Amino acid sequence: MSALLEHVFRQCGYMFKQCEYVFASCEQSLVAERKTFALG
């Protein structure tokens, strides 16, 4: 049972890291767009 829980937690942690990465890259592109918009 604990092995199954460990597996589930590991999967959740992995998915959370993926979401964090996607969010960070979205944020970066938004910031870049804002800079371009401000300059233009």
**Is residue 38's pLDDT more than 80?**
yes
Calculate what percentage of the chain has a pLDDT beyond 90. Answer: 80
Q: Enumerate the domain spans of the chain.
A: 1-40
Maximal CA-CA distance, the chain: 58
CA distance 31 to 38: 10
Alpha helices in 1-40 (DSSP H): 2-39
Q: Which residue has the tokens 């597996």?
A: 7
**Is residue 27's pLDDT more than 90?**
yes
Average pLDDT over residues 15-38: 93
pLDDT of res. 24: 97
pTM for the predicted model, two decimal places: 0.60
CA distance 12 to 7: 9
